Amino acid sequence: MPRSLVIAAFVLLSLTPDLALAQKTQTFHGYAEWHRGDVLIVDGQQIRANGGTALKGAARGGFESIELGSEVTVKGTRLGDGTILAREIEAKPNGVGMFESTIVNECDSQEQQWLRDGEVTEEDGDGSVTRVGRVHETGAQVDRVNRIVDRITPSYVDRSRFRVYVVDSKEWNAMAMANGSIWVFRGLLDAMDDDEMALVVGHEMAHVTHEHLNRDFKKGLWVQGLSLAALLAAETIDNGKARVATQIASMATAMAFENHFSRESEEQADRVGLRYAYEGGYDPNKAPRLWERFREKYGDDMRVLNFFFGSHPRE
């Protein structure tokens, strides 16, 4: 099957299990990442416009003029070929979200600590520390992942934003932190070819480019009935901000390490990551078999935290 058809089939299967649903108006949110002829890639999907498409915000200048990297919301219906015919498109510049700088700063601190220690560690609930594996900043495997990142990074994203490390562990695992650091476990590299690795790295990269840690963290605060104002009100005026930052930082690091993203974020990372691999020239046909390999290795239990686990949808 041609790679472009694999992308369309993946989107149809993951988003529209009921064919009738494809005829209903759906809403998609993401970033403008590629212009491909008369198609704009948003949320890992192909968006089309026609004379009846309402253009709002920064999109008013015309569908073709939407700047890459813009935050885009699309309302439309899915066509038979898997593309989206937009009824409405709204675009706006991608700004800095609440807590984003705090989360990125904490991820920077965690990255530097692991580099100073020369190993990745995880703090358990009881305060004990588990050694995950030594960190390699250079070497053939690091170079291999860097080559993949070079090919799949969207043009609007600064490539220097991403830094690659290999963790000396036999587990099949990878993670990306909000600051752009990508950590790939040796066991995964030993078991996967470059096409498969591109799918994994693309998924993790999508968590960064689509700011899932920040978005899911904010959602989590509101679900718990917490806002920044409420947190500050619970502390003293003098050191309240520092304590809030500490709470944000510890939660953010845990979310990044354990891939505890929401179902919505995981589904988007699956779609967008597959698109990244495809646009980089890698073979998306290998995606179904790759996912099955993870299931065969770890079973349906899904206790191990890695690329396809955590809160990844399994239906």
58-82 per-position pLDDT tens digit: 999 999 999 999 999 999 999 999 9
Q: What is the pLDDT of residue 297?
A: 83
Distance of CA 190 to the CA centre of its chain: 23
Instruction: State yes or no: pLDDT of 242 exceeds 90.
Output: no
Q: What is the pLDDT of residue 10?
A: 47
Q: Tens digit of pLDDT for each residue in 93-114? A: 987 666 677 778 888 988 999 9
Kindly provide the b/e burial profile for residues 168-185, where b requires at least 16 CB atoms within 10 angstroms of the residue's own CB: ebebbbbbbbbbbbbbbb
Task: From 132, 80, 152, select the one nearest 258 (Cα to Cα).
Answer: 132
Cβ neighbors of 33 (< 8 A, separation 6 or more) are 41, 42, 68, 69, 154, 156, 272, 275
Distance of CA 68 to the CA centre of its chain: 17
pTM score: 0.79
Phi and psi at residue 75, in whole multiples of 5°? -115, 125
Q: Which domains does the chain have, with CATH numbers?
A: 3-92 (2.40.50.140), 100-214+254-298 (no CATH)
Q: Is 14 exposed, middle or buried (0-12, 13-18, 19+ CB in 10 A)?
A: middle
Instruction: State yes or no: pLDDT of 20 exceeds 80.
Output: no
